[in-house]
Amino acid sequence: AIVRARAFYSRDPRFSFILLPENVGKRKAQIAAIGQSSGDLVLNVDSDSTIAFDVVSKLASKMGDPEVGAVMGQLTASNSGDTWLTKLIDMEYWLACNEERAAQARFGAVMCCCGPCAMYRRSALASLLDQYETQLFRGKLSDFGEDRHLTILMLKAGFRTEYVPNAIVATVVPDTLKPYLRQQLRWARSTFRDTFLVLPLLRGLNPFLTLDVVGQNIGPLLLALSVVTGLAHFIMTATVPWWTILIIASMTIIRCSVVALHARQLRFLGFVLHTPINLFLLLPLKAYALD
* pLDDT per residue as tens, the chain (291 positions): 567 777 888 788 888 888 888 888 889 999 998 888 888 999 999 989 999 999 999 999 999 999 999 999 999 999 999 999 999 999 999 999 999 999 999 999 999 999 899 999 999 998 999 999 988 877 888 888 899 999 999 999 999 999 999 999 999 999 999 999 999 999 999 988 888 888 888 888 889 999 998 888 788 877 888 888 888 988 999 898 888 889 889 989 999 999 999 999 999 999 999 999 999 999 989 888 887
Q: Are strands 160-171 and 68-77 parallel, antiparallel or unpaired?
A: parallel
Residue pair 70/150 in contact (Cβ under 8 Å)? The answer is: yes
For residue 27, list its beta bridge partners. Answer: none
Residue pair 122/40 in contact (Cβ under 8 Å)? The answer is: yes
**Collapsing DSSP states into helix, strand and coil, what is residue 208?**
helix
Residues 30 and 126 in one domain: no
Residues 146 and 178 in one domain: yes
Residue pair 194/164 in contact (Cβ under 8 Å)? The answer is: no
Query: Is 217 exposed, middle or buried, given 0-12, 13-18 or 19+ CB atoms closer than 10 A?
Result: middle
Residues 31 and 46 in one domain: no
Residues 188 and 244 in one domain: yes
Residues 9 and 63 in one domain: no
Residues 265 and 150 in one domain: yes
CB atoms within 10 A of CB 244: 16
What is the distance between the alpha carbons of residues 20 and 46, in angstroms, rounded to a whole number?
16
**Beta-carbon contacts of residue 12 (< 8 Å; ≥ 6 apart):** none
Cα within 13 Å of Cα(225), Cβ side: 5
Task: Please report the pLDDT score of residue 3 as a whole number.
Answer: 72
Residues 161 and 259 in one domain: yes
| Alpha helices, H only, the chain | 2-9, 26-35, 55-62, 84-95, 102-105, 122-133, 146-156, 177-198, 207-237, 242-263, 274-277, 283-289
What is the distance between the alpha carbons of residues 43 and 73, in angstroms, rounded to a whole number?
11
Give how far the C-alpha of residue 233 lies from the chain's centroid of Cα atoms, to the nearest Å.
35
Residues 65 and 6 in one domain: no
pTM, to two decimals: 0.91
Quick one: CA torsion of 82, 83, 85, 89, rounded to 10 degrees? 20
C-alpha R_g of the chain: 20
Residues 21 and 57 in one domain: no
* Cβ-count burial 184-213 (b if 16+ within 10 Å, e if not): bbebbbbbebbbebbeebbeebeeebeebb
Task: Please report the pLDDT score of residue 175 as a whole number.
Answer: 97
**Domain range for 199:** 39-290
Query: How many domains does the structure of the chain reveal?
Result: 2
Residues 54 and 123 in one domain: yes
Residues 52 and 28 in one domain: no
Angle value at C-alpha 113, between 109 and 119, nearest 5 degrees: 105
Residues 210 and 285 in one domain: yes
Task: Please report the pLDDT score of residue 2 as a whole number.
Answer: 65
Q: What CATH number does residue 48 fall under?
A: 3.90.550
Task: Please report the pLDDT score of residue 130 as a whole number.
Answer: 92
